[in-house]
Structure 1
Amino acid sequence: MNARIAPPATVALQPDAIIRHARAVIATEAEAIGALEPRIGTDFVEACRLILNCHGRVVVTGMGKSGHVARKIAATLASTGTPSFYVHPGEASHGDLGMIMPQDIVLALSYSGETDEVLFILPTLKREGIPLIAITGKPGSSLARQADVHLDGSISCEACPLGLAPTTSTTAALVLGDALAIALLEARGFTSDDFARSHPAGSLGRRLLLRISDVMHTGDDVPRVAPDVGLTTALVEMTRKHLGMTAVVDADDRLLGVFTDGDLRRALDDVGVDLRGATVTELMTRGPKTIGPDKLAAEAAQLMEKHQIHALLVVDADQRVVGALNIHDLLRARVV
């Protein structure tokens, strides 16, 4: 018979103490981050130089909590223009060292600088001539001494009141990794378009990469009528194409105006308008807001929001209608 697990003891919640402890953690870690700033100097510049001159990838490694931070640093580097990936140091000595090529560079994290799994792979890296950058909290440690460049992530104390759980030390290492990534981003001239290309499935990627031509309706799906048609013909075209509007174009497909649901409501409210005899030219809006097919879809969303409209006609350089879209197209594309 399996022994039953005893339920946890009830702990009295003390809101004031919880708030005090949480604030103390934040203050401790903020102070440690501030202490990193004056340490950024020639060693940091040399680390950036090594990475910028690297023809391979940055291989980030670390054990335990440092390993979790190393994974995040590798991901940040990779998404900001520096090819990078994480290798578990324990797995590295059992075959994964084959993932590291001579043209790569290794960034190793260990607060103590004495992590056995990390130190065990250093001789192989040295034999291959692979540059080593280390982030530790002990400048005199084995890892720091064997590194080509050492970045000092030392702290005065952990935020953990027992002084045991890596808290402030992992935060310091993470901040140094972020500082490397952003310094390299700036040095490479990495742009928002470059960032979007590595995040195509994210909301930012969609906003920076998706063009009007990717989401607009084209060909026979674009509502358009001649300027001399009556109201009934215009309404039928609007209903068939489901965009809440129709372009009014000349014989060469050049835009003359747009007739929308709003124009219809205004015509119905105007007792002086003969709806049976009026042509769409008399009821349309002249000089409507338009957009080019090569513009970002996000620009269409901004234009619609600014002018409180729900659809746009897409025109080329000669003002010929080449497409149309409405707010629902942008919603389906997850641009808004």
Structure 2
Amino acid sequence: MSIHPELQNENKLLVKDVIEMMLALPQLSPVNYFHVNKDNITSDTVLNSTSHVDAGIVPIENSENVMVSATIVMERLLRISPQASTELALAQLIRKIYSFGAVVSAFDITVTNVSMSSPYHMEMVDAIKEGCKRISRKYNLPMSHQKILFTCDPSTINQMPSLVLHGLGVLKTEAHFVTSSFKTKGNNIYLLGKSLEDVQGSLFQKYVMNETWDSLMKFDLDLEIKLKDVLEGLVSDNLIETANPLHRGGLFFSLLRAGYDSGYGFDITTDMSVSPEAFLFGEYLGRVIVSVSPEKDDDFIDYMTSAGQSFFALGHVTKGEIRIDDESYGYIDKDYSNVES
């Protein structure tokens, strides 16, 4: 693993400097640059208990049920393996909806920039179709249109195709809604899933290691399905307060997003069985961050043990400070890139 010398000190990763570098990436900005008046567009007017979330929340008329929708765009890894990338992206989409406490009902998929005259593009579409079929079988989920939709604009014909995935789920009641933002100082933070030595396909690999993406991050569909079942049980038994599936930027930036809107920070300890870069910035699947109130901690641990699900005690929610392995990285509501550790 080759990391820029300026980001190392005696072969030790300078996490603070890596964070500063990655914060400059628009994909990882905690606040969307185009963020508009959220009072007019988010679900706060629909569910009073919700905070800012990245899933759409829509009430179903004359019913206690609520519809949840989420969207994922896959453009960066599609050329490596179209079928595997499709399965990976759909698993992320499904995990995202389940993390809000909803049960996924269906998904649909659009492939953009498809040239019908390009054999390469058509082979890619066939592979994407096989990925959709496998996910449908494994999760027992239908495609809402029973087919893949295409777009083709002559002005973008030389661009690589991209996937736009959309999923729909149903939330039984508002009480079952699980927010993504931390709620309470002192709640314990757990990582569901195993830590792996893997930074493949991550933003860390491309922008910090300056390596070309040539393989996908590690992904086990059977483990994803098991994690989905565990999340369903945690939500049903009301054992977790928040849930965040790991995605772009890895664990650190998922924690940052969980705390940014609420103003809470986090104090965590890294898993020494893997390198800091893999643990904090790897984007491999099969992991979800949850927070648990201290009163329910014993019940949570008992449930996880009986379910046979791997989990790791990360730390706890703080009033605003960000700490990793007993080192301070500033505060969530400040530009902590300039704060001395």
- Quick check: which one's strand share is greater? 2
Structure with greater Cα Rg: 1
Note whether the superposition's TM-score is higher than 0.5. no
Normalising by structure 1, we get a TM-score of 0.25
**Which protein has the bigger helix share?**
1
- How high is the TM-score relative to the length of structure 2? 0.25
